[in-house]
Amino acid sequence: MFLATRFPFVSNEIAAQYALPPNTFSVVPALVLPRSRGYLRMKTAEPNGPLEIQPNFLSEQADVDALVAGIELGGEIASQPAFRDLIKRWVVPPKHMNRQEREAFLRRSCSTYFHPVGTCAMGSGLAAVVDAELRVRGVEGLRIADASVMPTITSANTQAPVVMIGEFASRLLVAGRVAARGSVRSAHDEPVSMPVAGPAELRDAG
């Protein structure tokens, strides 16, 4: 997927190497289904202790090949006649690079896409944090309704799936409140007024 930004969207390494004028636009290839896998590791046994975060970017050659092709395609897109009147000069990378130069540029410019998911992944196995109804295993009355429950990265921006997760969570909470209200009515034979939970409410009254 390609991102188009109206500012120099580059890594710290590229920013240190090139003089980047503020009045720029960037065409950025984004790998939406990376094969490389990193890890998150606790450095001590303390629950609030420091973490080691290793993203392992480009550890799989398939990711390197895809992004190198993306750099080439991005250059072709920016070279089209529709952009000709917008571009005063080409800033970075060099307009013409061979395969080796593209890969070297990629390794200096690669960074996160800022859409982390899966830290509280949904599933049925022992490693799953939440179940199919977003309930945290081993904790009563708590659900998680954000991108952390996704067991895998979506092949697009995460905003739309997160909205759907929130809508799903709100329906689960409302259904639980309605069921609880019905049981209270049956027990006391009187109507009981209870607030209806919204999508942002994470604690389950059930």
Q: Is the pTM of this model over 0.75?
A: no
Cα dist. 93→4, 23, 46, 101 in Å?
A: 16, 16, 44, 10
Here the tokens at position 116 are 């982390």
Confidence of residue 83 (pLDDT cuts 50, 70, 90): confident
Q: What is the pLDDT of residues 134-192, one digit of tens each?
A: 999 999 999 999 999 998 888 888 999 999 999 999 999 998 776 767 665 554 455 44
Cis peptide before 93 (omega within 30 of 0): yes
Amino acid letter, 206: G
Confidence of residue 196 (pLDDT cuts 50, 70, 90): very low
Q: What is the mean pLDDT of residues 14-35?
A: 89
Which domains, ranges and CATH numbers included, belong to the chain?
2-109 (3.30.560.10), 116-206 (3.50.50.60)
Q: What is the pLDDT of residues 95-116, one digit of tens each?
A: 788 999 999 999 999 988 778 8
What contacts 68, CB < 8 A, 6 or more positions away? 99, 102, 103, 106
Left (φ > 0), alpha (ψ -120 to 50) or beta: where does 82 sit? Answer: alpha
pLDDT of residue 204: 40
Here the tokens at position 175 are 């259904």
Pick the catalytic residue: 107, 115, 177, 181?
115
pLDDT score of 200 more than 50: no
Catalytic residue list contains 188: no
Q: What is the mean pLDDT of residues 11-35?
A: 89
User: Mean pLDDT, the chain, as a whole number?
Assistant: 84
